[in-house]
Amino acid sequence: MTSILESIVTVPSSRIALADNNDSYRYNDLFALKASNQETLDFLNNTVVVIKGRERFEFALLLILLDGVAKKILFLPRDIDSSLHQKYYKEANVLYEITLNENVLTYSAVQIIDTEKICERQHLTEWIIPTSGTTSTPKLVAHTFESLTKSTKRDITLGEDYTWGLVFDIYRFSGIQVLLQSLLSGATLIITSPTQSMAEMLVLLSNNNCTALSATSSFWRKVLMTKESNTLNLRRITLGGEIADKNILEALNYKFKVTKISHIYASTEVGVGFSVTDGKSGFPISYLHGTIDGTQMKIDGDGLLWIAPQNKNQRYLSTEKMYDEEGYINTGDLVEIKEDRVYFLGRDSGAINVGGNKVQPEEVETTLLSSGLLSEAYVYAMKNPMMGSLVCADVVLSNVELEKKEAKKILLTYCRDHLENFKVPAIVKFVTEIQTTQSGKLKRT
């Protein structure tokens, strides 16, 4: 099976595939949508197209229609700097921007290149996905349907019992994974909008009997703070995109009492690396000594995690190398081994330099949250002429009745007891909310 539509042909046609506040599509509606736009799809056959800045629901429909038709599909989310658009168009040889208006597929030319069509038909559509670009310019990574679905469960009998919620940005790898898992298992996907408040999202998910939800740790913390979460009846919880620490895993287990909580390591370059289901943060050290979920791992001398995917179908669209000589990809994530466990420390590129010492913001955030006083924490650097940078923290109190002066005193004492001195925040700022990206990650600068 080489496309989404080919993979869902056996799903009972009356099942609902996609739904939001305004609309819903059954599985047979997806095939009808294709039939009604066949002439345009024939024209777009084997061309390179871009889906730029569309709403999640429209994006899902466009992807379903174009997969297996276009030679390449470039994903271009709204948060990609517009100054990079032309650069990416040239890298991918994009011809047309695609939209769907009232179920009519439309296209407009974005550039003219010498060869509009490539005669040789490739086996699979390439999905060109930008990296998150948290600390650098986003790179374009080419995936195939095969590389994106290597860990996808396709049991359509089991899928009938699940309704997934989509709270990730669908342009990113995490959102694509939720979309594909839902569709290929014949489940229903409830699509939220980034313009909705947390309460509105949870009401939408609850009203549609959402039973499976994947989100970042930061998103889950906001869920736990919202009273509408009491109406969710979840059977499956997945965490991804950020470190899943002990505090959030235990809080989710206590709140929802689900039988299975998974945290998944994945990235745009690696794809889905591995999953952990034992309820603990980090992963067992045994994962380093064999093949786990089709991948192999190693830690280099600098404490960086490297992963070798089983199928190396993905690549950078630029000439930059993705793999080392042994087929491993540098994840950019720092880890440390404690006893029989490997723990994530944070992104190497995100470290704060305090007087020549490296501080991982994620480590300080985890410590602050483990104090029991906070519902959210965000740690960042502030330039300082003497130290290079100072460690600063924006925090949200879980108990609003606690005086901030007293809370700060307790927090700093707790940090001094659990962190080296140079890691203790020099500035603590109390805020009402901490910003996250459209994919639910902390919005790091």
Number of domains in the chain: 3
Asked if residue 207 and residue 133 are part of one domain, the reply reads: no
Angle at which helix 404-418 crosses helix 361-369, to 10 degrees, equals 120
In-domain check, residue 214: yes
3-state SS of 419-444? CCHHHCCCEEEECCCCCECCCCCECC
Rounded to the nearest angstrom, the gap between the alpha carbon of residue 351 and the centroid of all alpha carbons in its chain is 21
Q: What is the CATH number of the domain that holds 115?
A: 3.40.50.980
* Domain of residue 218, residue span: 196-311+320-349
Alpha helices in 109-231 (DSSP H): 145-148, 156-159, 173-184, 198-207, 217-225
* 333, part of any domain: yes
Token pair for 84 = 């990079």
Task: Check whether residue 200 and residue 137 sit in a common domain.
Answer: no
- Residue 175 domain-assigned? no
Please report, for residues 95, 96, 168, 408, the alpha-carbon distance to residue 41 in angstroms, rounded to integers and kept in the order given: 14, 12, 28, 60
pTM, 2 dp: 0.92
pLDDT computed for residue 116 by the predictor: 47
**Residue 240 belongs to domain with CATH number:** 3.40.50.12780
User: Does residue 356 sit in the same domain as residue 342?
Assistant: no
> Do 288 and 367 have their domain in common?
no
Enumerate residues 6+ apart whose C-beta is below 8 A from 125.
3, 66, 67, 68, 69, 70, 71, 72, 73, 144, 145
State the pLDDT at residue 137: 83
| 205 & 306 share domain | yes
Task: Answer whether residue 181 is part of any domain.
Answer: no
**Is 403 part of any domain?**
yes
Q: How big is the CA angle at 48 (ends 45 and 54), to the nearest 5 degrees?
A: 105
From first to last of its 445 residues, the chain has per-residue pLDDT tens of 579 999 999 999 999 999 999 999 999 999 999 999 999 999 999 999 999 999 999 999 999 999 999 999 999 998 888 899 999 999 999 999 999 999 999 999 998 665 544 445 556 899 999 987 665 688 999 998 888 888 888 999 999 999 999 999 889 899 999 999 999 999 999 999 999 999 999 999 999 999 999 999 999 999 999 999 999 999 999 999 999 999 999 999 999 998 789 999 999 999 888 999 999 999 999 999 988 878 899 999 999 999 998 878 889 998 889 999 999 999 999 999 999 999 999 999 899 999 999 999 999 999 999 999 999 999 999 999 888 899 999 999 998 888 999 999 999 999 999 999 999 999 999 999 999 988 889 988 7
For the chain, the distance separating the N- and C-terminal CA atoms, rounded to the nearest angstrom, is 41
Whether 151 is covered by a domain: the verdict is no
User: Do 279 and 202 fall within a single domain?
Assistant: yes
pLDDT of residue 117: 45
Give the span between the Cα atoms of 75 and 156, in whole angstroms. Answer: 28
